[in-house]
Amino acid sequence: MSIEDLPAKPRLPIHPGGDPLFDAGKTGAPGFVLANLNRLVNWSRSSALWPVTFGLACCAIEMMATSAARYDLGRFGAELFRPSPRQADLIIVAGRLSQKMAPVLRQIYDQMADPKWVIAMGDCASCGGIYNNYAIVQGCDKVIPVDVYVPGCPPRPEQLIDGVMKLQKKIMAEGVYIPARG
């Protein structure tokens, strides 16, 4: 006797009286998934941050090391540094921001896709650092809104990774609709 000769197993209705919608395709596949839209959108946003390729000074070397093989920022979904701000939703301000570069930073930020986030990496980007003089902007938050500040001179790659993880936590707490920031 082959398996085809066996009598068909009676199908038990899931709902009393038999609901054709639920009873028709008992394949084991659920067919639908229930999820919180906020969590789903925020999870996809926080797990695939695309930073724009942008470095200003010595901190940028640590940023490059963070994305290379040893520290592997790809483990957190943020290793895909984009050459165009239009393809990026994260900017890591790595280094001191001179007055001359301030309008450039602002223009790059304005060209990035919404929603977008900013990490100020290092003392110089956060508050001017040791450069308390007329040539250096005393914190890039004077030019663009900053989400996470990473302290250090320079911060180690582990610190930048910690900053990315803190940003991910912040994104997970946001709503689906984030109004554009000025």
Q: Cis omega (within 30 of 0) on the bond before 16? A: no
Give Cα 38 distance to the centre of its chain.
15
Nearer to ligand SF4, 109 or 149 (CB): 149
Give the range of 14-22, 70-78, 97-105, 121-129 binding ligand SF4 by CB under 6 A.
Answer: 121-129
Structure tokens at 43: 């999870």
Nearer to ligand SF4, 154 or 163 (CB): 154
Nearer to ligand SF4, 90 or 94 (CB): 94
Does 89 bind ligand SF4 (CB under 6 A)? Our answer is no
- Confirm if 97 and 137 have CB atoms less than 8 A apart: yes
- Confirm if 131 and 101 have CB atoms less than 8 A apart: no
Closest CA to 49 of 167, 160, 157, 132: 167
The interface with ligand SF4 within residues 23-52 (CB under 6 A) comprises none
Does 128 bind ligand SF4 (CB under 6 A)? Our answer is no
Closest CA to 143 of 122, 157, 131, 128: 128
Nearer to ligand SF4, 122 or 157 (CB): 122
Residue count at the site for ligand SF4 (CB under 6 A)? Answer: 11
Give the range of 15-23, 45-53, 118-126, 138-146 binding ligand SF4 by CB under 6 A.
Answer: 118-126
Phi, psi dihedrals of residue 52, rounded to the nearest 5°: -85, 145
- Please select the residue that binds ligand SF4; options are 123, 140, 143, 171, rule is CB under 6 A: 123
- Confirm if 42 and 172 have CB atoms less than 8 A apart: yes
State the minimum distance, in angstroms, from the CB of residue 31 to ligand SF4: 53
Does 154 bind ligand SF4 (CB under 6 A)? Our answer is yes
Instruction: Return the SS3 of 91.
Output: strand
Residue type, 20: P
State the minimum distance, in angstroms, from the CB of residue 141 to ligand SF4: 15
Q: How far apart are CA 150 and CA 176, in angstroms?
A: 26
- Please select the residue that binds ligand SF4; options are 42, 54, 81, 95, rule is CB under 6 A: 95
Summarize as ranges the residues that interact with ligand SF4 (CB under 6 A).
Answer: 57-59, 95-96, 122-124, 129, 153-154
